Each structure stands twice: as structure tokens, then as C-alpha cells.
Amino acid sequence: MAERTLLVIKPDAVQRGLIGNIISRIERKGLKIIALKIMMLTDDEVDKLYDIHMDKVFYPLLNSFIISGPLVAIAIQGKNSVKIVRKLAGVTNSPEAEPGTIRGDFGVDLTKNIIHSSDKPERAEYELSVLFKEEDYVSYSLINESWVE
């Protein structure tokens, strides 16, 4: 199975009307979206998604921000998709992110940093399992696929 990753469009980006712009960047890169949904997360779901950060000092702020409004969860599949989506995202702290990246173009803050993306394939599978069921994934070919990979 080709590598999968999770990209979350966070509540700040949803409220600012950036969903379309962010999805467009995934599409024009040649990546394939295999599941997508807009949703409100519960406190418990945020704890699961960010289990590795739960004992950090910034966690209460992160949790309350993530539950503050709807987010868009996107499952993406393709060769090297984890690394590619991380590159499209830019570094975590928005003020440090290069122009041309998603956070570099839209973010000014560390907590309200527009998106989340998984940092390694094993982590991607775990995070995807928090937000999606296996039956949510759609298996299909894009007509330009052979021209991309």
C-alpha cells in the first residue's frame, strides 16, 4: 500500500476561509486525497490525536484551540506523502516558516499555525486511525497518476 498521511486544517484556517487554498496545494502537487471530512473534535479525541504532547506545558492551550471550532481532516496517499506534506506545511512555528509554505503564507502564531501534518509514516497511521475508519478510504486512480509518479 502506498504511504498515507494525515493533514488537519485547524479551526483558525477554517474560520479564515483557507480550506480551498490548502486543498488546492495538495491537488496541484499531485497528491491523492482518499478521505476528507469536516468535524468538531471532542476533548478525548484531541487527547488521542496529540497523545505525545499531553504532558507538555502548551497542551491545555493546544487542546482548547483544537476543540474551539470545526476542523477538516484529510487523508492523503502517495509515494513519500508524509515528507511532501511536511514540506508543503513549513516548520511548526509560523513566524519561522518560509514564504511559499502553507504556514509561511498564512500563519503568524505557534498555536494558531493553520494545519497539522503527521511527521512519520508510523505516526501517520496512528493519527489517521484516530480520525478515520478503514472503510472511509476510497481506493481509486487519478487519470494523471502515471505522469506524477
Of 4, 32, 86, 116, the residue at the interface with ligand CMP (CB under 6 A) is: 116
Of 37, 58, 95, 148, the residue at the interface with ligand CMP (CB under 6 A) is: 58
Nearest approach, Cβ of residue 130 and ligand CMP (Å): 13
Q: Does 113 sit near ligand CMP (CB under 6 A)?
A: yes
What one-character-per-residue DSSP string does 45-64 give? HHHHHTGGGTTSTTHHHHHH
Q: What distance, in Å, lies between the first and last C-alpha atoms of the chain?
A: 14
Q: Does 111 sit near ligand CMP (CB under 6 A)?
A: yes
Q: Does 110 sit near ligand CMP (CB under 6 A)?
A: yes
* d(C-alpha 126, C-alpha 145), whole Å: 26
Spatial contact of 74 and 9, defined as CB atoms under 8 Å apart: yes
Q: Which chain residues interact with ligand CMP by CB under 6 A? A: 53, 58, 62, 92, 110-111, 113, 116
